[in-house]
């Protein structure tokens, strides 16, 4: 499919993991793609996606908690790639700690990146959709922990529940303009973040060796396997496409049936 030829798509956290899977899918479907992340290797990741897909892909180093930097980056993207059509707010972080050990700094870090960062990028994208008259698409990455919290991550769960509330609120405000806003809840996906989760939760929950806790979790998935970034990318591409023009304010699980609600 080539649903995004001539469109410009922004993906935050697009240099690795789920974000890279999303960016790659848009590139495969003909979009001009911008990826942004705080990591200095982001331009290198963009070059690799471009080489793999033949698409025009640009990479930007960006802190999604910095409103001024977001404005400047989105401006540069439009100058380089053309008016924005789709913005995917995917950049995210997680830390794990028992409640009595959870620091205020960790709380702020998770909420700032995972919730405020999503809002700030949505806000700038909306301004640009309106300025260009484009009925744009916003897709926000939440988490299975936006459906139900888990031990040792109340701050992370709060940040992702916040993404769902933000998505619904913006969807209602923008619906009459034809701008859709949806969210996704990835479950267990093969990424570096889940390697971190396996290691740290495994240490805190008991005597788990590398990969053992992940394997135990995967056993609880009805489909019997973890997902891939490419499978998440397929969902995001659908929600950003004309095929989903009448879908807004929704939060869609992509988790092999782990959470059915």
Catalytic residues: 156
Using DSSP, state whether 222 is helix, strand or coil.
Answer: coil
Q: How far does the chain reach from its first CA to its final CA, in angstroms?
A: 30
Whether residue 32 contacts residue 82, with contact meaning beta carbons closer than 8 Å, is answered with yes
Whether residue 3 contacts residue 30, with contact meaning beta carbons closer than 8 Å, is answered with yes
Q: Which of 30, 33, 2 is nearest to 20 (CA)?
A: 33
How far CA 158 is from CA of 1, 166, 170, in Å, comes to 37, 12, 18
Quote the DSSP letter at residue 59: E
Q: For residue 170, count CB atoms less than 10 angstroms from its CB and return exposed for 0-12, middle for 13-18, buried for 19 or more.
A: buried
Alpha-carbon Rg of the chain, whole angstroms? Answer: 18
């Amino acid at each position: 499919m080539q649903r995004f030829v001539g469109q410009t798509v922004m993906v935050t956290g697009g240099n690795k993991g789920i974000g890279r899977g999303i960016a790659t899918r848009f590139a495969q479907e003909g979009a001009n793609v911008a990826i942004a992340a705080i990591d200095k290797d982001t331009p290198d990741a963009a070059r690799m996606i471009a080489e793999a897909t033949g698409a025009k892909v640009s990479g930007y180093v960006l802190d999604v908690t910095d409103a001024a930097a977001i404005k400047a980056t989105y401006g540069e993207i439009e100058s380089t790639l053309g008016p924005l059509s789709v913005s995917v707010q995917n950049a995210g972080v997680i830390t794990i700690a028992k409640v009595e050990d959870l620091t205020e700094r960790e709380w702020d870090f998770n909420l700032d990146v995972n919730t405020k960062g999503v809002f700030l990028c949505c806000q700038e994208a909306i301004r640009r959709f309106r300025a260009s008259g484009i009925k744009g698409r916003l897709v926000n990455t939440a988490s299975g922990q936006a459906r139900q919290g888990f031990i040792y991550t109340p701050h992370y769960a709060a940040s992702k529940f916040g993404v769902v509330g933000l998505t619904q609120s913006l969807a209602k405000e923008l619906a009459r303009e034809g701008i859709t806003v949806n969210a996704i809840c990835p479950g267990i996906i093969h990424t570096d973040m889940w390697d971190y989760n396996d290691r740290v939760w495994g240490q805190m929950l008991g005597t788990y060796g590398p990969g053992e806790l992940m394997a135990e979790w995967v056993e609880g998935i009805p489909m019997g396997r973890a997902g891939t970034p490419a499978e998440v990318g397929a969902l995001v591409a659908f929600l950003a496409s004309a095929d989903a023009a009448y879908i807004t304010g929704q939060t869609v699980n992509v988790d092999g049936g782990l959470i059915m609600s």
